[in-house]
Each structure stands twice: as C-alpha cells, then as structure tokens.
Amino acid sequence: VNNTLADHTPPPTDEVTRRRMRATRSKNSRVELALRSELHRRGRRFYLHQALFENKRYKVDIVFPRKKVAVYVDGCFWHSCPQHGSAPKSHGAWWSAKLARNRARDAFANQALSEAGWAVVRVWEHEDVLEAADRVEAVLAART
Ligand SMILES: [Zn+2]
C-alpha cells in the first residue's frame, strides 16, 4: 500500500489527521490481509507486492501473473475514496497536492498496466471483503 510520506517532509500533523492516517493504515492492511486469505480460501494462488514497472513505487498488492490480473487494495484516505477521502483541513494545500500526486500515480499505473495487457482491479478498504473477492474472481474468470 502506498502510505509513504517520502515525497517531501510532511507538515506537522494535527491529532485528527494523525488519527485518520493511523486508522487508515491499520484498516487498510487488515482489509488486504482479509482479501488475501479469502482468495486463498477459494483456491486462488498469487504473488504479493510485485513491482510490475521499473518504478518500484508502483508495486501491485496482489498479482495473478498467468491471468495478468493486478489487484490494488487502496486506502480511503491515501487514495481519495469518493466516500471517505478528503484532504485534512490543516496544511490543506500540502495535503491536496500530496493526495493529487497519489491519484496521478494510480491513474498512471492503471494505464500502464492495461497497455501491457493487464486487467486492473481496485478494491477500496471500505469494501466488503467477500464482495471484493467476488469482483476479483469475476475478472479472473473472464480472462482465459
Ligand atoms: Zn472509503
């Protein structure tokens, strides 16, 4: 998951932002783990955190190499979920730019992967895990 702040030194975060970031981070990894174990339970085998581009920042969370299906589990905060994503009020300009860069990176990854013949599935951390697994299965089933 792309929850790195490595681009620039982040501004000092207020307590609300800190809580949001932390909640998102732990929730996100929990959702990814849950999705992975559900897919595994269904007999699916896959690779984790593969760099499919030269740029290591575009690592894919769950990779099905034979079917060429790439699954990202996106945190609501870091990837600007339409329901839960919004820039923190404090240091708003910095956060807006940061989150915009994340969105641009996601869009670039989607395009580069599909140009290379991959199907991309993006799962929000707020999604129901069983439904997300169904969605991944449907994409896998459609790929022969
Ligand atoms: Zn969300």
pTM score over 0.75: yes
* Residue 24 alpha carbon to ligand 1 centre in Å: 10
H-assigned helices in the chain: 15-41, 92-115, 129-142
HEC string for 48-65: EEECCCCCHHHCEEEEEC
Strand order of the sheet with strand 47-50? 47-50, 60-64, 69-74, 119-124
* Residue 71 alpha carbon to ligand 1 centre in Å: 17
**Cβ within 8 Å of residue 30, ≥6 positions away:** none
* Residue 141 alpha carbon to ligand 1 centre in Å: 26
* Residue 77 alpha carbon to ligand 1 centre in Å: 7
Q: Per residue in 82-109, pLDDT tens?
A: 998 888 888 889 999 999 999 999 999 9
Q: Per residue in 21-36, pLDDT tens?
A: 766 665 557 889 999 9
* Residue 22 alpha carbon to ligand 1 centre in Å: 15
* Residue 108 alpha carbon to ligand 1 centre in Å: 21
The predicted structure's pLDDT at residue 50: 85
- Top-confidence range, 1-5, 53-57, 80-84: 80-84
* Residue 133 alpha carbon to ligand 1 centre in Å: 17
Q: How far apart are CA 144 and CA 136, in angstroms?
A: 14
Secondary structure of residue 119 in the 3-state scheme:
strand
* Residue 74 alpha carbon to ligand 1 centre in Å: 9
